[in-house]
Amino acid sequence: MKNLLLIFAVIIVTSVRAVNPYLPDKGEIPRIAGMKLVFSEDFNNEGKPNPENWGYETGFKRNEELQWYLSDNANCSGGRLLIEGKRANFTNPNYVAGSTDWKTNRKTVNYTSSSIISRGKQSWLFGRFEIRARVDTSKGSWPAIWTLGVSKEWPSCGEIDIMEFYRVSGVPTVLANVAWGTATRWTAKWDSFKKPLSTLLAKDADWPKKYHIWRMDWTSDSIRLYVDDELYNYTLLNQTINADGTNPFLQAQYMLLNLALGSGGGDPSKTVFPLQYEVDYVRVYQKSPTDLSTNTQTPTNPYIINSNQNKTLNFTCKYNVKQLHVSILNTNGTILYNQNFDDILSGNSYFINLKTMPKGVFFVRFNSETTKIYKIIQTK
């Protein structure tokens, strides 16, 4: 008998919607297979950003930057958020004569800008993040799209720089970074990617004039950062461990959109103002927290069934497993529950009592001799 190999070639033709790279995108929000749009901010209103989603940083904040943050410089118009950097001249309300603190020893404020922040309003654990924005590359400009963890101080809270633009040793550069804590307080471990602006200009002289899509794909295993579908940075989460053993990227993060001035952005004293940083939209897609689809490539992969029915987690394995260690962790990476199972038989059901678990989203980690698998459960 001859072995027959049937090869099916499927060609799918789709229409690609043309988007003017110089204007905000007014088209329909695209769907992503297997994912749900859980947050969408298109800044289509006129006036201030939606207060249900965004608050503001105020004053001098970090990095000895020159700008005083205030809400006035962030406004929605023409289908996009416009953050402007401006010259100013007013007395620093926090000025203290003789102070050694840079935030209080500046007698006057010479520049203003805005930083909008979703802390306490919107935060997310995992998903695909897409932000379409146009950045001002003038000297002094330091725009960013970034996230911080909802708990722990920096950098142990975790920082993800989906986009930064500033000058690295004087060279205008686009960056994509991930940072977490070390044994030294306020000292981060960085995983950074840098692309000189000159490289982008060599391919497209209009690069600064166009909107670009900055994307993050964040799972329990990794963080991938893209610009216009080009992968810039790839960080494995088994490397992002704080000194205390926690993983900051197994917790929710909130977002900041800001335009800093000076410091790493360079000296803006001869720059023509205002500077303009424009954000067309922010979108977050996620799999459902109760989506417990299996990875069939893993031979000892557990299937979770009837999850949280009567506060009981019920699982079965596809193959026999001699020893299986099950842990339940919160989103900070703290282990809340451990149990060992011996001689797991294929197809049999095994139970874990969740009656003492609080409400929330948790990781279930299955460790065997050959694999480690994470699932997500939601207790109600």
**How many C-beta neighbours within 10 Å does residue 244 have?**
11
How far separated are the first and last CA of the chain, in Å rounded? 56
Active site residue 46: no
DSSP state of 168: E
Pairing of strands 108-113, 141-149: unpaired
Residue type, 371: T
The residue among 318, 307, 298 whose CA lies nearest residue 364 is: 307
Catalytic option among 130, 164, 230, 369? 164
The residue among 299, 285, 287 whose CA lies nearest residue 373 is: 299
Helix (H) or strand (E) holding 199: helix 197-203
Tokens of 128: 């695909």
Helix (H) or strand (E) holding 202: helix 197-203
Catalytic option among 65, 130, 159, 278? 159
Q: List beta partners, residue 130.
A: 215, 283
Residue 284 near residue 124 (C-beta atoms within 8 A): yes
**C-beta contacts of 351-359 below 8 A and 24+ residues apart:** 351/312, 351/313, 351/314, 352/312, 352/313, 352/315, 352/326, 352/328, 353/311, 353/312, 354/308, 354/311, 354/312, 354/313, 354/379, 355/311, 357/311, 357/328
Active site residue 164: yes
DSSP state of 135: -
Residue type, 330: N
DSSP three-state, residue 280: strand
Q: Which residues are catalytic?
A: 159, 164
